A and B are shown apart, each in its own frame.
Chain A
Amino acid sequence: QVQLVQSGAEVKRPGSSVKVSCKASGDTFSSYAISWVRQAPGQGLEWMGRIIPVLDLTKYAQKFQGRVSLSADKSTSTAFMELSSLKSEDTAVYYCARGDTGLATDYWGQGTLVTVSS
């Protein structure tokens, strides 16, 4: 039974950083990539990047390059997404999901609402 369980909602000031966690169960960490997708209020889905935990290999969308950092703790099967220099436009629900190029996304976390407000 695969589950992705994310950390709770966050409220952040502009210019600060946020770190969201995603704990995986099953064999996800040994064989799969974890992607991060965000959804601004009332908007569509936007892929931010992915990490392959077993290789510590990351790939970022150009839009977020330099501002997002993906990491993973293999000992606890937990992936992390850190977004820095937050702006109000970063207010969104952030999802982790299992999937990458060549391997369709199948499981999603429940989402983490990040609100950026002064």
Chain B
Amino acid sequence: DIQMTQSPSSLSASVGDRVTITCRASQDISNYLAWFQQKPGKAPKSLIYAASSLQSGVPSKFSGSGSGTDFTLTISSLQPEDFAIYYCQQYDSHPLTFGGGTKVEIK
């Protein structure tokens, strides 16, 4: 199975901050990497696919980059509605696997 390692596991940031989350795959997954946002008590929301493409309706303050084994999710200017848990997922091969999540909290 492909292991997905996210860092940090949590971070504190202020409104307006630029935030970067990293995700590392245990083997080459090309660009088969997705990012999701989850708020308490809600289903995950799809943000990014193919490492850097925004899902329909997702604001451009979210961006993704990377290929192979190293990926990043960046939020350019953190807003109150962005405080949530973010997960990466590889969809290169079965079983699909997720990172452990990054909790973005208000400083």
Q: Point out residues on A near B: beta carbons under 8 Å.
A: 35, 44-47, 50, 59, 61-62, 95, 97, 99-111
Beyond the given pairs A61-B94, A62-B95, A109-B43, 4 more chain A to chain B contacts, judged by CB atoms under 8 angstroms and listed by A's residue number, are A99-B34, A101-B32, A103-B91, A108-B43
Q: How far is the CB of A67 from chain B (nearest CB, A)?
A: 15
Q: Is the CB of B91 within 8 A of A104?
A: yes
Those of B87-107 within 8 Å (CB) of chain A: 87, 89, 91-101
Q: Is the CB of B98 within 8 A of A101?
A: no
How many A-B residue pairs lie within 8 Å, measured between CB atoms?
A: 64
Q: Point out residues on B near A: beta carbons under 8 Å.
A: 1, 32, 34, 36, 43-46, 49-50, 55, 87, 89, 91-101
B interface, over-half SS: loop
Q: How far is B50's CA from A98's CA once the two chains are assembled, in angstroms?
A: 15
Q: Is the CB of B91 within 8 A of A44?
A: no
Residues of A within 8 A of B87 (CB): 44-45
Q: Is the CB of A108 within 8 A of B94?
A: no
Q: How far is B43's CA from A96's CA once the two chains are assembled, in angstroms?
A: 10
Closest to B50 in A: A104
Residues of B within 8 A of A104 (CB): 32, 34, 46, 49-50, 91
